[in-house]
């Protein structure tokens, strides 16, 4: 049947990490789906570094997997190298990260889409079709109008993407790809509030031109860790990564060409990520530091290309050459692709609802860089939620968002939707208030219920997770009932260095469970006091947040808070304390002041008068 | 039923009851000036600004007293509201009479610390100043420090905590290389934090009134003897049961911590005793401590006491008289054996009093702050950065609560206010 004769339940624009998860989630929920991408061959491309996971990000991948997404499966199947980051800093902050074979990863995702019989249309989307409140579909350059009940936009950096290197500037969503200029124009025409961000990528180096003998080696950890609960066979760890450091010459080279930097010359207006800055940013911000770590990562198994993690740059080719060659072992390096910066449009956070629907529409969702985030994992998690909620509209289900206290996914969505971000948003473990609870080892148990109510779990996954839950509950019971070494087993788990293997030896009934599962439950016990406290605080915060401020007629009169805050509040006129909290520039002290003001007006004196009259 | 609106104007005698040359009644709140002008039959506007007016206050035509009214406009007064101080003659009937007139004209009677509360709410005083004031008030001759220097040092301390947090979080998020130098840097910062926090504790001890420690128990259990040992001397002692009838109290310093030691009349006696210990029960607040003494530990603390506060230490006194129990405090767990003759248990008792301060005290908050920092250090060494970070957060929360910027703000201020008199 011709594309134009269909009305799809969910149309997903973009074949990146967000788009893939979105279309798969909708498909799992039984919707008819269409994935529209400008280039079929670049579906699932790792546009930047060939790694999945990291601190907080790795946990996020586990959460995506719990919701039956494909990212964890793809990362497991194509991994070359694995490290559990923060191994020596406690299981609460462990961050699993794999280096994947970039080509194999993309291929895996394409095959996965095909296996699920996802219909894919290779075309450029140039506009939404119909009204802004309720678009009927999309308009494509070649295929014209395609009808859809809901639309998920996940076009990444393509939204009026502009690429920069030194003095040159050209259109593009990524090197070698066209930008979505028409779509951006349509979005602006519909008066959505969009802003500009920038991000960048480093040079790629020809592997044989590098003397790896000069570099430090980062071996892969030997482990059977998997992101996915599927327990599929793993490929061996087949590559090593390398480590080198920048030096004085790198800095001199960067400084010499600094005046040609598109960013510093003011040609890029977009704000870049603070935590993944370009090398020239580092030079400007830390002028006294000559040494910065550079991780040298192979782009694939026996790939001829190295990725230079940490040397992102948009300086002219000449400068990049000098910078790269200043690194030990890179004296004769040949650059296969030069680094560049990309500037793109994204939606201001006020446009986005917690379900990731654009507030002004009934049926259009956004995910990934369009929401102002950066990173594959962040994009994939949003894609999954956007796809599921889009499908939810079609199926008449409730719109859902995971909670902040229970998952990084919830933390991220709450952050981007309520606070917004003034630089590309990256997930950090410290963004979560309940970090000891939101761990990589218990993602399956944390999000099972959510996944079930979202309706995004396939039958197999659901059964598997249920089994995991059951096992964990059994272990928990055993721990609370057993006494080992004159101590309740649950308490024993809190000892430093308590290990699952040892526990299984001490309590034979546990030996049938996997050590990972035992360890996960042990951690629950170990951190339980902290977790409870954090949840309690969360609760009281929530209670305080519901405080009604409607009795305040003028914020300018409130003497308990500072002038600046009065002005900001007067302008925003929040109705509840929660709303006040979310206004940028409002500090906890101001909230206390508001509470105090209300308490002074109402309860304190009232209650004392009450006492008097009662007597 | 009366309508429960908060009175805009409050009034209270600011001088002690009794005969004196002069007495002062304070009136504060929007409209105070109008009110006083009215009852003193002054022309409208006479009390605008910083004024002093002589006049007469009468009740239904009957002159109560000739008084002087001092007025302050809101922006210059103690409370940050319009305020008047009426100076009258120091006769209780006159003071009561004037108060009656004020109340009949719509002013409300102030509660403990309400003037200061208003000063706090209008931003005239911050939490630390109030606590300083409260302790100054409660201790009379002690030299208080209202300059807010301590507050600034707390602020500085918070900055330091934040700095360490940044290091720690930075290492969690970006410290991929597992560098021991990073860990050492964090540990160094933590130990300097601990040193600084101990300095803060010393200062806090000077500002804050001590927590109250009540010595309670059946008659003739040796409370007053213990009191004298701890206080170094002057309470009335004898071996006759029921000697201490009215309770005695003294500020003492135990291991550098200020403590208000309160000796009480024994329970279980007849008549007066029960009434006396009831009064004590009413006085005990949740941040205070009770040492419950009974000879050889044979009578345990009454339910109504132990349900009221968590900090009770049960003591078996006169252990020298009894050879039955050979168990030490550690083995026995709950009951501390004590002898004022052999000195057994006294050190342990002092330690208990000085090291586990009650919930809401300044010293307590600082104590918990140090504890959290020590824990943070422990968990950095023990490879649990996530937990270490939790403890640093807690430490910061505690110290912010001292500054009145945290969750416990209202509580700590409430506590300080309630200890003041009505005219303060």
Interchain proximity B385–A86, CB inside 8 Å: yes
Domain end call among B110, B136, B167: B110
Collapsing DSSP to helix, strand or coil, A347 comes out as strand
Q: Are residues B233 and B337 in the same domain?
A: yes
Residue B190: its pLDDT value, please?
93
Which residues in chain A have their CB less than 8 angstroms from residue B382's CB?
Answer: 496
Per the domain annotation, does B261 fall within a domain?
yes
Q: What is the CA radius of gyration of chain B?
A: 27
Q: Is B381 touching A (CB cutoff 8 A)?
A: no
The token pair at A511 is 């030996």
How does strand A144-153 pair with strand A137-140?
antiparallel
Polymer length of chain B: 424
What CATH number has the domain bearing residue B347?
3.40.50.300
Per the domain annotation, does A458 fall within a domain?
no
Per the domain annotation, does B121 fall within a domain?
no
Q: Are residues A582 and A528 in the same domain?
A: no
Q: Are residues A532 and A586 in the same domain?
A: no
Number of Cα atoms under 13 Å in the Cβ half of residue B259: 27
Nearest residue of chain B to residue A595 (CA atoms): B410
Q: Are residues A276 and A389 in the same domain?
A: yes
Residue B255: its pLDDT value, please?
58
What CATH number has the domain bearing residue B185?
1.20.120.430
The single-letter DSSP state of residue A494 is T
Per the domain annotation, does A341 fall within a domain?
yes
For residue A288, what are the contacts with CB-CB under 8 A and spacing of at least 6?
Answer: none
Q: Is B187 touching A (CB cutoff 8 A)?
A: no
CB neighbours (10 Å) of residue B209?
23
For residue A249, what are the contacts with CB-CB under 8 A and spacing of at least 6?
Answer: A326
Could you give the C-alpha distances from B229 to A40, B168, B191, B340, B346, in angstroms and in order?
A: 88, 47, 36, 8, 9
Q: Are residues B292 and B314 in the same domain?
A: yes
Q: Which of B1, B108, B405 sits opposite A589 (nearest CB)?
A: B405
Cα(B259)–Cα(A153) distance, integer angstroms: 66
**Structural domain total, chain A:** 3
Residue A602: its pLDDT value, please?
44
Which residues in chain B have their CB less than 8 angstroms from residue A90's CB?
Answer: 379, 383-387
Residue A535: its pLDDT value, please?
85
* pLDDT per residue as tens digits for the range B136-176: 554 433 333 333 567 778 888 888 998 898 889 888 888 76
Q: Are residues A186 and A299 in the same domain?
A: yes
Per the domain annotation, does B125 fall within a domain?
no
Q: Is B117 touching A (CB cutoff 8 A)?
A: yes
Q: Are residues B307 and B244 in the same domain?
A: yes
Could you give the C-alpha distances from A399 to A132, A357, B95, in angstroms and in order?
A: 20, 9, 67
Which residues in chain A have their CB less than 8 angstroms from residue B167's CB?
Answer: none
Per the domain annotation, does A86 fall within a domain?
yes
Interchain proximity B172–A559, CB inside 8 Å: no
Cα(B161)–Cα(A23) distance, integer angstroms: 46
* Mutate which: A55, A90, A498, A592, vs B, most B CBs within 10 A: A90
Beta carbon pairs, A and B, within 8 Å = 101
Domain end call among A374, A404, A431: A431
Interchain proximity A92–B379, CB inside 8 Å: no
The enclosing H or E element of A613 equals helix A603-614
Q: Are residues A495 and A363 in the same domain?
A: no
Helices (H), A124-200: 181-189
The enclosing H or E element of A340 equals strand A340-347
In chain B, what is the greatest distance between 2 CA atoms, to the nearest angstrom?
88
Per the domain annotation, does A456 fall within a domain?
no
Residue A502: its pLDDT value, please?
92
Per the domain annotation, does B284 fall within a domain?
yes
Strand residues in A86-167 grouped as ranges (E): 95-100, 119-122, 125-129, 137-140, 144-153, 162-165
* pLDDT per residue as tens digits for the range B48-65: 888 899 999 988 888 899
Per the domain annotation, does B101 fall within a domain?
yes
Q: Is B177 touching A (CB cutoff 8 A)?
A: yes
For residue B263, what are the contacts with CB-CB under 8 A and spacing of at least 6?
Answer: B215, B223, B224, B227, B235, B244, B247, B248, B249
* pLDDT per residue as tens digits for the range B167-215: 898 888 887 665 677 888 899 999 999 988 888 877 776 655 556 788 8
Q: Are residues A112 and A205 in the same domain?
A: yes
Q: State the Cα angle at B337 between B334 and B339, rounded to 5°.
A: 160
Q: Are residues A408 and A535 in the same domain?
A: no
Which residues in chain B have their CB less than 8 angstroms from residue A595's CB?
Answer: 410
pLDDT along chain A (615 residues), means of 10: 86 98 98 96 94 96 97 95 92 94 96 96 96 96 96 96 93 92 96 93 95 92 89 82 93 91 72 72 82 92 92 93 95 95 94 94 97 96 98 95 93 87 87 92 96 96 96 95 88 87 92 93 93 82 71 80 78 80 68 70 39 38
* HEC-encoded secondary structure of A253-264: HHHHCHHHCCCC
Domain end call among B53, B80, B110: B110
Cα(B222)–Cα(B230) distance, integer angstroms: 12
Nearest residue of chain B to residue A537 (CA atoms): B407
Per the domain annotation, does A426 fall within a domain?
yes
CA distance A143 to chain B (A): 46
Which residues in chain B have their CB less than 8 angstroms from residue A91's CB?
Answer: 386
Cα(A297)–Cα(A201) distance, integer angstroms: 14
Which residues in chain B have their CB less than 8 angstroms from residue A408's CB?
Answer: none
CA distance A35 to chain B (A): 35
Per the domain annotation, does B423 fall within a domain?
no
Domain range for A535 is 471-543
Per the domain annotation, does A451 fall within a domain?
no
| Residues B25/B94, Cβ–Cβ less than 8 Å | no
How does strand A364-366 pair with strand A144-153?
parallel
| Residues B364/B287, Cβ–Cβ less than 8 Å | yes
Q: Are residues B203 and B215 in the same domain?
A: no
For residue A546, what are the contacts with CB-CB under 8 A and spacing of at least 6?
Answer: A576, A577, A578
Domain end call among A510, A543, A576: A543
Q: Are residues A367 and A494 in the same domain?
A: no
Per the domain annotation, does B271 fall within a domain?
yes
Interchain proximity A89–B171, CB inside 8 Å: yes
Which residues in chain A have their CB less than 8 angstroms from residue B170's CB?
Answer: none
Per the domain annotation, does A495 fall within a domain?
yes
Cα(A255)–Cα(A290) distance, integer angstroms: 12
Of B36, B44, B68, give the one whose Cα is nearest residue B55.
B68
What CATH number has the domain bearing residue B53?
3.30.1360.120
| Residues B5/B415, Cβ–Cβ less than 8 Å | no
Q: Are residues A378 and A499 in the same domain?
A: no
What CATH number has the domain bearing residue A83?
3.50.50.60
Of B106, B93, B90, give the one whose Cα is nearest residue B63.
B93
Q: Are residues A67 and A170 in the same domain?
A: yes
Q: Are residues B342 and B224 in the same domain?
A: yes
Q: Which of A92, A435, A609 sits opposite B4 (nearest CB)?
A: A609
Q: Is B73 touching A (CB cutoff 8 A)?
A: no
Which residues in chain A have their CB less than 8 angstroms from residue B117's CB?
Answer: 600, 604
Nearest residue of chain B to residue A610 (CA atoms): B4
Q: Are residues A496 and A591 in the same domain?
A: no
Which residues in chain B have their CB less than 8 angstroms from residue A605's CB?
Answer: 6-7
Q: Are residues A480 and A576 in the same domain?
A: no
Cα(B190)–Cα(B198) distance, integer angstroms: 13
With 70 as the cut, is the pLDDT of residue B239 above it?
A: no
pTM of this structure? 0.71
| Residues B25/B88, Cβ–Cβ less than 8 Å | yes
| Residues A436/A94, Cβ–Cβ less than 8 Å | no
Instruction: Report residue B342's pLDDT band, with 50, 70 and 90 as the boundaries.
Output: confident
Interchain proximity A606–B6, CB inside 8 Å: yes
Residue B352: its pLDDT value, please?
72
Interchain proximity B385–A55, CB inside 8 Å: no
Q: Are residues B198 and B215 in the same domain?
A: no
| Residues A229/A65, Cβ–Cβ less than 8 Å | yes
Which ipTM did the prediction report? 0.83
Of B208, B113, B211, B78, give the one whose Cα is nearest residue B154.
B208
Of A583, A577, A551, A578, give the one whose Cα is nearest residue A565.
A583
| Residues A577/A550, Cβ–Cβ less than 8 Å | no
Instruction: Report residue B224's pLDDT band, with 50, 70 and 90 as the boundaries.
Output: confident
Q: Are residues B217 and B196 in the same domain?
A: no
Q: Are residues B243 and B321 in the same domain?
A: yes
CA distance B352 to chain A (A): 25
Domain end call among B321, B336, B355: B355
Interchain proximity B385–A613, CB inside 8 Å: no
Q: Are residues B329 and B226 in the same domain?
A: yes
* HEC-encoded secondary structure of chain B: CCCCCCCCCEEEECCCCCCEEEEEEEEECCCHHHHHHHHCCCCCCCCCCCEEEEEEEEECCEEEEEEEEEEECHHHCCCCCCEEEEEEEECHHHHHHHHHHHHHCCCEECCCCHHHHHHHHCCCCCHHHHHHHHHHHHHCCCCCCCCCHHHHHHHHHHHHHHHHHHHHHHHHHHCCCCCHHHHHHHHHHHHHHHHHHHHHHHHHHHHCCCEEEEEECECCCCHHHHHHHHHCCCCCCCCCCCCCCCCEEEEEEECCEEEEEEECCCECCCCHHHHHHHHHHHHCCCCCEEEEEEECCCCCCCHHHHCCCCCEEEEEECHHHCCCCCCCHHHHCCEEECCCCCCCCHHHHHHHHHHCCCCCCHHHHHHHHHHHHHHHHHHHHCCCHHHHHHHHHHHHHHHHHHCCCCCCHHHHHHHHHHCCCCCC
Cα(B297)–Cα(B314) distance, integer angstroms: 7
Sign of CA dihedral A488, A493, A497, A502: positive
Q: Are residues B370 and B301 in the same domain?
A: no
Per the domain annotation, does A60 fall within a domain?
yes
Q: Are residues B334 and B405 in the same domain?
A: no
Q: State the Cα angle at B381 between B378 and B385, rounded to 5°.
A: 85
Domain range for B404 is 149-207+361-417
Q: Is B387 touching A (CB cutoff 8 A)?
A: yes
Collapsing DSSP to helix, strand or coil, A200 comes out as strand
Per the domain annotation, does B1 fall within a domain?
no
The token pair at A515 is 């050590």
CA distance B294 to chain A (A): 34
Q: Name the phi and psi angles at B258, rounded to 5.
A: -75, 130
What CATH number has the domain bearing residue A601?
1.10.150.570
Q: Is B6 touching A (CB cutoff 8 A)?
A: yes
Which residues in chain A have their CB less than 8 angstroms from residue B108's CB?
Answer: 609
Q: Are residues B252 and B287 in the same domain?
A: yes
**Structural domain total, chain B:** 3
Q: Which residues of A touch B (CB under 8 A)?
A: 55-56, 85-93, 243, 275, 293, 295, 428-430, 435-436, 496, 527, 530, 534, 540, 559-560, 588-589, 592, 595-597, 599-602, 604-606, 608-610, 612-613
| Residues B168/B240, Cβ–Cβ less than 8 Å | no
- Tokens 């009831």 identify what position? B278
Helix-then-strand count for chain A, H and E: 19, 21
Interchain proximity A92–B171, CB inside 8 Å: no
């Amino acid at each position: 049947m011709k594309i134009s004769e269909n009305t799809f339940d969910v149309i997903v624009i973009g074949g990146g990490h967000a788009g893939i998860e979105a279309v798969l989630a909708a498909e799992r929920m039984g919707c008819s789906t269409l994935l529209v991408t400008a280039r079929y061959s670049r579906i699932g491309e790792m546009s930047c570094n060939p790694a999945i996971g990291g601190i907080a990000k790795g946990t996020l991948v586990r959460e995506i997997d719990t919701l039956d997404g494909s990212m964890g499966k793809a990362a497991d199947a194509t991994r070359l190298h694995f490290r559990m980051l923060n191994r020596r800093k406690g299981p609460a902050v462990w961050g699993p990260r794999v280096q994947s074979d970039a080509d194999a990863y993309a291929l895996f995702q394409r095959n996965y889409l095909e296996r699920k019989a996802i219909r894919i249309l290779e075309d450029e989307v140039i506009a939404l079709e119909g009204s802004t409140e309720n678009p009927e579909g999309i308009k494509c350059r070649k295929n014209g109008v395609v009808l859809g009940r809901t639309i998920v936009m996940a076009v990444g950096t393509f939204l009026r993407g502009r690429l920069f290197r030194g003095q040159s500037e050209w259109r593009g969503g990524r090197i070698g790809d066209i930008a979505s200029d028409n779509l951006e124009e349509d979005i602006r025409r519909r008066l959505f509030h969009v802003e500009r961000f920038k991000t960048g990528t480093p040079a790629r180096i020809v592997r044989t031109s590098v003397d790896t003998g000069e570099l430090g080696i980062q071996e892969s950890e030997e482990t059977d860790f998997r992101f996915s609960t599927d327990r599929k066979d793993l490929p061996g760890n087949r590559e090593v990564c390398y480590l080198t450091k920048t030096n004085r010459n790198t800095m001199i080279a960067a400084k010499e060409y600094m005046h040609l930097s598109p960013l510093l010359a003011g040609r890029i207006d977009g704000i870049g990520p603070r935590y993944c800055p370009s090398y020239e940013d580092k030079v400007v911000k830390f002028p006294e530091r000559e040494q910065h770590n550079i991780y040298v990562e192979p782009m694939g198994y026996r790939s001829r290309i190295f990725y230079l993690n940490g040397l992102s740059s948009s300086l002219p080719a000449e400068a990049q050459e000098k910078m790269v060659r200043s690194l030990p072992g890179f004296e004769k390096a040949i650059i296969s692709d030069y680094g560049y910066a990309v500037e793109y449009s994204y939606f201001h956070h006020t446009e986005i609802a917690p379900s990731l629907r654009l507030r002004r529409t009934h049926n259009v969702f956004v995910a990934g860089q369009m929401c102002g985030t950066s990173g594959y994992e962040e994009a994939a998690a949003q894609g999954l939620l956007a796809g599921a909620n889009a499908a939810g509209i079609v199926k008449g289900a409730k719109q859902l968002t995971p909670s902040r206290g229970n998952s990084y996914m919830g933390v991220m969505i709450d952050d981007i939707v309520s606070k917004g971000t003034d630089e590309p948003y990256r997930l950090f473990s410290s963004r979560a208030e309940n970090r000891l609870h939101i761990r990589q080892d218990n993602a399956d148990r944390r999000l099972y219920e959510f996944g079930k109510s979202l309706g995004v779990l396939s039958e197999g996954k659901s059964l598997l997770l249920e089994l995991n839950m059951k096992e964990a509950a059994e272990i928990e019971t055993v721990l609370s009932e057993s006494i080992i070494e004159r101590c309740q087993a649950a308490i024993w788990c809190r000892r430093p260095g308590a290990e699952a293997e040892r526990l299984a030896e001490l309590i034979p009934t546990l030996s049938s469970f996997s050590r990972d599962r035992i360890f996960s439950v042990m951690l629950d016990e170990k951190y339980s006091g902290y977790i409870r406290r954090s949840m309690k605080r969360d609760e009281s915060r929530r209670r305080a947040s519901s405080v009604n401020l409607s009795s305040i007629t003028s914020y300018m009169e409130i003497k308990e808070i500072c002038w600046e805050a009065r002005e900001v509040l007067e302008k925003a006129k929040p109705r509840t304390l929660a709303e006040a909290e979310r206004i940028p520039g409002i500090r906890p002290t101001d909230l206390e002041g508001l509470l105090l003001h209300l308490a002074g007006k109402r309860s304190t004196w009232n209650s004392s008068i009450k006492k008097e009259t009662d007597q | 039923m009366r309508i429960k609106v908060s009175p805009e104007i409050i009034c209270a005698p600011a001088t002690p009851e009794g005969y004196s040359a002069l007495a002062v009644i304070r009136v504060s709140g929007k409209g105070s000036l109008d009110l006083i002008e009215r009852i003193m039959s002054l022309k409208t506007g006479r009390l605008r600004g910083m004024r002093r007016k002589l006049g007469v206050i009468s009740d239904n035509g009957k002159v109560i007293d000739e008084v002087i009214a001092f007025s302050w406009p809101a922006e210059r007064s103690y409370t940050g509201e319009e305020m008047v101080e009426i100076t009258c003659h120091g006769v209780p009937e006159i003071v009561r009479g004037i108060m009656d007139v004020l109340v009949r004209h719509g002013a409300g009677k102030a509660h403990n610390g309400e003037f200061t509360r208003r000063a706090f709410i209008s931003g005239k005083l911050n939490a630390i100043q109030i606590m300083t004031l409260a302790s100054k008030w409660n201790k009379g001759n002690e030299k208080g420090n209202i300059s807010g220097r301590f507050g600034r040092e707390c602020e500085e301390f918070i900055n330091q905590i934040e700095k360490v947090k940044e290091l720690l979080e930075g290492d969690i998020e970006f410290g991929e290389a597992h560098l021991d130098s990073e860990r050492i840097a964090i540990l160094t910062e933590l130990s300097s934090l601990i040193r600084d926090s101990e300095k803060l504790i010393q200062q806090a001890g000077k500002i804050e009134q001590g927590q109250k420690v009540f010595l309670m128990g059946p008659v003739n259990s040796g409370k007053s003897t213990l009191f004298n040992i701890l206080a170094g001397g002057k309470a009335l002692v004898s071996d006759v049961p029921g000697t201490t009838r009215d309770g005695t109290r003294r500020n003492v310093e135990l291991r550098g911590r200020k403590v208000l030691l309160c000796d009480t009349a024994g329970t279980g006696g007849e008549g007066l005793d029960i009434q006396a210990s009831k009064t004590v029960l009413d006085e005990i607040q949740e941040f205070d401590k009770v040492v419950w003494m009974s000879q050889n530990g044979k009578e345990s603390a009454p339910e109504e006491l132990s349900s009221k506060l968590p900090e009770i230490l049960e003591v078996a006194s006169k252990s020298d008289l009894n050879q039955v129990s050979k168990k030490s405090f550690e083995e026995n767990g709950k009951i501390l054996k004590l002898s004022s003759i052999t000195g057994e248990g006294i050190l342990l008792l002092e330690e208990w009093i000085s090291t586990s301060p009650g919930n809401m005290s300044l010293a307590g908050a600082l104590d918990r702050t140090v504890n959290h920092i020590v824990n943070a250090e422990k968990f950095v060494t023990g490879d649990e950065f996530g937990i270490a970070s939790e403890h640093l957060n807690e430490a910061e929360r505690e110290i912010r609560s001292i500054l009145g910027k945290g969750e416990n703000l209202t509580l700590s201020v409430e506590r300080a206010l309630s200890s003041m008199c009505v005219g303060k």
